[in-house]
Amino acid sequence: MTSSDLNYLTVALPKGKLFAPSAKMLADIGYTAEGLSEKSRKLVITNEEEKIRFIITKTADLPTYVEYGAADVGIIGKDVLLEEGKDVYELLDLKFGFCRLMVAVPQALQQEKLSDYAHMRVATKYPRVAERFFSSMGIQMEIIKLNGSIELAPMVGLAEMIVDIVETGRTLKENQLIEVAQIHPATARFIANRVSFKMKFDRINRMVEDLKTLMEGGVNGENSSC
Ligand code: PRP
């Protein structure tokens, strides 16, 4: 099974916070499959009637599946696209999953300006984003890649600061961290493989148009965060 089968459209959905709103949005325009659930142990779920396959991937891996054509299209956060830098078409801002990439520090370590943090350690799930951001400011930092619970790092002395996404701000607050710089806002994006977009243009384009119509009609209506 590969997405090169022209009869099928393979849609990648990420595990995690974007899964439910993404699956709902696609279901609202008629793209769904029986048993499609984040909890499913089955990672490929097919709707034979509609010739749609859903694959469920780890969030950070989703752009890779789309870049290589293992999936024709997918839904993923802009934060992940910025970090992974994969060669995919970003077709639509789906305007849910609102969050922002930012820099935060423990209150006690707050400095006057960003350059005062030079050479400190930054813990992050987004090492490329962090590197690019600090380099663009002419600041050299030591970047430490982690896979989650980033806010823990400054609390136990692994790093002085973090680069992470913030949604409600609750995690920062509960760990006495304050935001000192914004890097980029992020929302969910509808992406496509470059070859699939040409080979399956009618189907993918119809999906984009249906998603746009849905958003205009406010059917999705939920400002869910990422
Ligand atoms: C994300 C992010 C923050 C938190 C922000 O983590 O890395 O920790 O959500 O949300 P808030 O501003 O609403 O508090 P996630 O829950 O994805 O888990 P992780 O830390 O294991 O990556």
In a domain, 223, yes or no: no
User: Does residue 142 surpass a pLDDT of 80?
Assistant: yes
Measured from the CA of 225, which atom of ligand 1 is nearest?
A: 13
Give the residue, out of 58, 76, 165, with the most ligand 1 atoms within 8 A of its beta carbon, to mutate for a pocket test.
165
Q: Domain count for the chain, please give it.
A: 2
User: Does residue 37 surpass a pLDDT of 60?
Assistant: yes
Residues 177 and 209 in one domain: no
User: Does residue 1 surpass a pLDDT of 60?
Assistant: no
In a domain, 192, yes or no: yes
Q: Are strands 73-77 and 9-14 parallel, antiparallel or unpaired?
A: parallel
What mean pLDDT comes out for the span 175-194? Answer: 97
135 C-beta closer than 6 A to ligand 1: no
What mean pLDDT comes out for the span 123-134? Answer: 98
Best CA proximity match to 38, nearest among 53, 60, 23: 23
Residues 108 and 42 in one domain: no
Secondary element (H or E) of residue 44: strand 44-47
Cα of 152 vs centre of ligand 1, distance in Å, is 11
Please answer whether residues 99 and 79 qualify as being in contact, where contact means their C-beta atoms are separated by less than 8 angstroms.
yes
User: Does residue 109 surpass a pLDDT of 50?
Assistant: yes
Measured from the CA of 17, which atom of ligand 1 is nearest?
A: 17
Residues 103 and 92 in one domain: no
Residues 42 and 64 in one domain: yes
Residues 108 and 41 in one domain: no
User: Does residue 221 surpass a pLDDT of 50?
Assistant: no
- In whole angstroms, give the CA distance from residue 225 to residue 219: 17
In a domain, 222, yes or no: no
Whole-model pTM: value is 0.93
Please answer whether residues 30 and 210 qualify as being in contact, where contact means their C-beta atoms are separated by less than 8 angstroms.
yes
- In whole angstroms, give the CA distance from residue 97 to residue 13: 14
Secondary element (H or E) of residue 56: strand 52-57
Residues 9 and 84 in one domain: yes
210 C-beta closer than 6 A to ligand 1: no
What per-residue confidence (pLDDT) applies to 224? Answer: 59
Cα of 4 vs centre of ligand 1, distance in Å, is 35
SS (H, E, C) 70-105: CCCEEEEEHHHHHHHCCCCEEEEECCCCEEEEEEEE
Instruction: Say how many CA atoms lie within 13 Å of 65 toward its Cβ.
Output: 25
- As beta bridge partners, residue 189 has 76, 93
179 C-beta closer than 6 A to ligand 1: no
In a domain, 180, yes or no: yes
169 C-beta closer than 6 A to ligand 1: yes
In a domain, 221, yes or no: no
Residue showing tokens 């707050």: 110
Measured from the CA of 149, which atom of ligand 1 is nearest?
A: 20
DSSP 88-148: -EEEEE---SBEEEEEEEEGGG--SSGGGGTT-EEEES-HHHHHHHHHHTT---EEEE-SS
C-alpha distances out from residue 85 to 90, 118, 134, Å: 11, 26, 17
In a domain, 65, yes or no: yes
Residues 148 and 109 in one domain: yes
% of residues, the chain, pLDDT over 90: 89
Residues 174 and 201 in one domain: no
Residue 195 is part of which domain span? 3-97+187-216
Cα of 225 vs centre of ligand 1, distance in Å, is 11
Residues 22 and 66 in one domain: yes
In a domain, 150, yes or no: yes
**CATH classification of the domain holding 195:** 3.40.190.10
Residues 132 and 176 in one domain: yes
Residues 82 and 121 in one domain: no
What pLDDT, in 10s, does the model give residues 40-60? Answer: 888 899 999 999 999 999 999
Residues 10 and 109 in one domain: no
Residue showing tokens 């989650």: 148
In a domain, 39, yes or no: yes
